[in-house]
Structure 1
Amino acid sequence: MRAYLHPFRGSTPTDARPPTPRTVTKWILTRPDALPENDRLKLKSVLVHCPEQDALTRHLRDFAQILTRLQGDRLLEWITAVRADDLPSMHTFANGLERDLDAVIAGLTLPWSSGIVEGHVNRLKMIKRQMYGRAGFSLLRKRVLLA
């Protein structure tokens, strides 16, 4: 029995499983100051081993800062930085932003939003779908006005 267990006694346990892509994504999308120290160290380890992931993380965090702080004037600088790296998916995203650059910059700079209007439109469409084929326009009108 001892001969059977002998090879395993001196060995150290293997490292824990690597983090899942979902976990790494969560770490990247969480604000760095809100990330627990243990997770921050694990993320740092992942980024050290993959330079592409490190560049992607930098670009995502920079874009999040532009988005949350309404710094649309930095967008062209950000797009230039994205183009400097070899990240095809980010190039595709940047191309999409450039298609209507003026509107994107305005959306990332101005404090106004059409979110409230979009919410009301969504509510009206939901009521219309619930009523489809069940009643006429007069009942639909009453539901919309009373809702």
Structure 2
Amino acid sequence: MYRLRENAKPTTRLPVPKVREVTGLILTHPDHRSEAQQVLLKELPIRCGELDEACDLVARFASIIVNRRGQEELERWTADAEASTLPELRGFATGLRKDWDAVVAGLTLRWNSGPVEGHVNRIKMLKRQMFGRAKLDLLRKCVLLAA
């Protein structure tokens, strides 16, 4: 039979953050992080060394996308990601290489398919709202009148 020690001090461990919390911290823009989040983000690489490399690569990629830095920086980032120890980022970089021309065009050209995607999204929403209620002729009228 086991006895509990009455005067034993409880061990204090830092709470382990959930994966979703860590992912949110890494992906949040640095200007939008609270003080507590910034402190936690600085402490995380101490607990897990791989997170330091992941944070650096994610921040660099976000900067490339936001600032549309183009092919040269993306080339360096992709080479670094492919050489990293993180299989997820290596796979992502490999996926970028498969459609390299489209990725470079998306980061260098000023044209995008945003308006088209918005219309497709709106049409799909109308279709979902009318599912089982009407036939194609009414859906067509709703799409044309809503435009």
Same fold by TM (over 0.5)? yes
Q: Note the C-alpha offset of 1:50.
A: 1.8
Q: Which has the higher helix share?
A: 1
Contact conserved, 1:27 with 1:39, CA < 8 A, in 2?
yes
> Cα–Cα, structure 1 residues 83 and 142, in superposed 2: closer, same or farther, change >3 Å?
closer
1:97 maps to 96
For this pair of structures, how many residues does the alignment match?
A: 141
Q: TM-score, normalised by structure 2?
A: 0.82
Contact conserved, 2:82 with 2:94, CA < 8 A, in 1?
no
Q: Note the C-alpha offset of 1:132.
A: 5.1
For 1:75, give the aligned amino acid. Answer: L
> Cα–Cα, structure 1 residues 123 and 51, in superposed 2: closer, same or farther, change >3 Å?
same
1:78 maps to 77
For 1:54, give the aligned amino acid. Answer: D
2:87 maps to 88
Contact conserved, 1:127 with 1:144, CA < 8 A, in 2?
yes
Contact conserved, 1:70 with 1:111, CA < 8 A, in 2?
no
2:117 maps to 118
For 1:58, give the aligned amino acid. Answer: D
Runs of at least 5 residues in structure 2 that lack an aligned partner in the other structure? none
> Cα–Cα, structure 1 residues 127 and 89, in superposed 2: closer, same or farther, change >3 Å?
same
Higher relative contact order (CA 8 A, sep 6+): 1
Residues 1:68 and 2:66 aligned together? yes
> Cα–Cα, structure 1 residues 137 and 20, in superposed 2: closer, same or farther, change >3 Å?
closer
> Cα–Cα, structure 1 residues 110 and 49, in superposed 2: closer, same or farther, change >3 Å?
same
Contact conserved, 1:59 with 1:78, CA < 8 A, in 2?
yes
> Cα–Cα, structure 1 residues 139 and 42, in superposed 2: closer, same or farther, change >3 Å?
closer
RMSD over aligned Cα atoms: 2.2
Contact conserved, 2:83 with 2:90, CA < 8 A, in 1?
no
1:19 maps to 17
| Bigger CA radius of gyration | 1
Contact conserved, 2:26 with 2:55, CA < 8 A, in 1?
yes
> Cα–Cα, structure 1 residues 45 and 103, in superposed 2: closer, same or farther, change >3 Å?
same
Question: Where has structure 1 moved over 6 Å in runs of 4 or more?
Answer: none
- Distance in 2, matches of 1:26 and 1:132, equals 35
Runs of at least 5 residues in structure 1 that lack an aligned partner in the other structure? none
Contact conserved, 1:70 with 1:109, CA < 8 A, in 2?
yes
My pick for the range that moved more, 33-42 or 73-82, is 33-42
My pick for the range that moved more, 128-137 or 14-23, is 128-137
